[in-house]
Each structure stands twice: as C-alpha cells, then as structure tokens.
Amino acid sequence: MTARTWRPEDPGAVAIALDTLVADVHFRADVAPRSLGHKALAVNLSDLAAMGAQPRRALVHAAHPAPSPAWEEAFAAGIGELAERFAVRMDRRPVRTGPLLVSVEIAGTFPGSAPPLLRSGARPGDLIYVTGTLGDAAGAPGGAGGLAARLDRPEPRVAAGLALRSIATSAIDVSDGLCADLGHVLRASGAGATLEAARLPLSGELCAAFGRKQATDLALAGGDDYELAFTVPPGREKLLAGAELGVAVSRIGVVERGPGLRCLDGDGRPRSVPAGYEHFATPRSTEPQE
C-alpha cells in the first residue's frame, strides 16, 4: 500500500482519478518500460485535464514478472520525466514481482473560481471542438514512427483543460474514440450532435500512411489519442481564440437538440458513424461525481 496526507493547494473541490493498466489488456506486454511509465501517468493526467484540474500528487504501484534494476530505472525515468514536467509530486513504490501492471492514482485541484468541467454541460447550439489531431494512435500499428509515439507516449492536454474551465460547457478526453466519447457527453447532456468529417484534424503522417478516407475513419473511431473534445457556446469563440491552450484546436461540429450523433461528408451527405470502439483502454464510468 501507499498512503499520504495531502493539503490541497486550492480551496474547494479536488479531482481524483485511478487507472490500472494491465499487460495484454491495456497495453502490449513488450512495450518499452520508459513508454509504459510515460503512458501510465499520461492517461491519468488526461483524466484530470478533461475535468480542468491542475494535477498535484500521484501514487504509483507497478509489478513485473521478473523486475530488474534496468527495467525499473527505465520505467521510473518515463514516469518521472512526465511528473517533473507537470510538477506532480509522486510517491512510487518499488516494483513488485507479479503480473505486468501499473496502477496510478492522481489528485489535483481547481485553481481560480471556475467550476470543474463536466460531461453533462453541452447545450444545443454549442460548437464542438477538439485539440490536436485524431486517429494517430489508432493508425500506429500500420503506420510509421510518429504515429507509434502518439500511441505509446500521449501528451496530456493539461494546460488546455485548465484554460477551458472558464470557456467550455463540457469536455472529455478521447480515449475510447471520438464518436464513443462524444456519445458519453451527448447522453450525459441530453443532446445530440452533427460532425463534419471534412473538419476533422488529421496529421500529415496519418494521411500519408492511410489516405484521407481511411484516416477519417480512424479519426472518428480510433481510441488512445488523449486529445480533449469539448463544447463552446458561439459567443465564447473569441475567448477560445485568445486562450493559452498549448495546442491547436479545430471546430468539428455542433450540438443539437435531437439525440444521437450524425456525421456529414465533405459534400454534405450523411455518412455512417462508427459504433463504440473496443480498444485497449477501459470503458468510462459514468460522469465523474462530486
């Protein structure tokens, strides 16, 4: 066990997230330990980013069938580099002998007066945005090195989440795939949406490897990107343009009253929307609760 007391740096609510990543379930058993360390903390940082929280403290457990100093050193380097970059104080227990797994708990605070980002706040007329590019992680197995880095070493959008707390009406991180995760937001908000496929942000590398059509499919359905999808009332678009998000954002659709998720092709014709995407990561619980 690992336990600590912690005096939250800001008053009010705190954010807490737990991720348990198990080999062959959530990641490939042959993943480099440095990447595993990075990813285990990154997915938790992404959970906090989707709430608009400032990450503060983490507890980390790991097990390996045959732990070696070299493995542990690389794992610790991967997780430590990210913790340092985001100023997260981390208590890490020595690696134990057991099935390959990592369990990370992370706690954060909400600086300023804006409330936490919820999944339930999207309103008809809100514009749907997403950070960065989509589909890269899903394209990693068939693509080149840059895509693999997106899968193995995702970049949590912490600064964007913090800034969006006073701008966005809802947010979620894209770990199960854009359509699946947007579906969580729309159901929680009692709304629907239409996406414009031509507006999806695609990396040059993904288009080069798969062509634009398949890249669009990957962007709609692929998971593990850890970008933020969020909704913004039209009157706040100028505020969004001036915010320090640390990453580019793209407007990809609009929230509507009618339930369900629709998608239009470049020529305005309806195209099919992929069903939920079963990937390495685990399904979401319901709305993070207070």
Binding site for a copy of itself (CB under 8 A): 1-8, 12-20, 22, 24-25, 43-44, 47-48, 50-51, 53, 57, 59, 61, 63, 91, 93-94, 96-99, 101, 103, 105, 107, 110, 116, 175, 281-285, 288-290
Q: Are 100 and 65 in contact (CB under 8 A)?
A: yes
Smallest separation, CB 290 to a copy of itself (Å): 5
Name the one residue in this structure whose structure tokens are 């001036």. Answer: 242
Closest CB to a copy of itself among residues 21, 263: 21
174 vs 263, beta carbon nearer a copy of itself: 174
- In the block, tokens 């100023």 appear at 87
Beta pairing, strands 89-92 & 270-271: unpaired
Least Cβ distance, residue 256 to a copy of itself (angstroms): 27
What's the rounded Cα separation, in Å, for the pair 216 and 210? Answer: 9
Taking the complex as a whole, the smallest distance from the CB of residue 36 to a copy of itself amounts, in Å, to 15
Residues in the chain: 290
CB closer to a copy of itself out of 48 and 221: 48
Q: What Cα–Cα distance (Å) separates residue 180 from each residue in 1, 185, 189, 229, 274?
A: 34, 9, 14, 11, 8
Minimum CB distance to a copy of itself, residue 125 (Å): 26
In the complex, least distance from residue 261 CB atom to a copy of itself, rounded to whole angstroms: 22
Q: Min. distance of Cβ 109 from a copy of itself in angstroms?
A: 10
Q: What minimum distance in Å lies between the beta carbon of 4 and a copy of itself? A: 4
Task: For residue 195, give Cα distances in angstroms to 40, 180, 209.
Answer: 31, 13, 24
Using the minimum distance from each CB to a copy of itself, give the nearer residue, 63 or 207.
Answer: 63
Question: Under a CB-based contact definition with an 8 Å cutoff, are residues 49 and 156 in contact?
Answer: yes
Nearest-angstrom CA–CA distance, 150 and 145: 9
7 versus 269: smaller Cβ distance to a copy of itself: 7
Which residue lies nearer to a copy of itself by CB, 181 or 205? 181
Contact yes or no for 59/91 (Cβ under 8 A):
yes
Nearest-Å Rg of the Cα atoms of the chain is 19
Q: Give the nearer residue to a copy of itself in terms of CB position, either 272 or 285.
A: 285
Return the closest-CA partner of residue 180 out of 280, 284, 47. Answer: 284
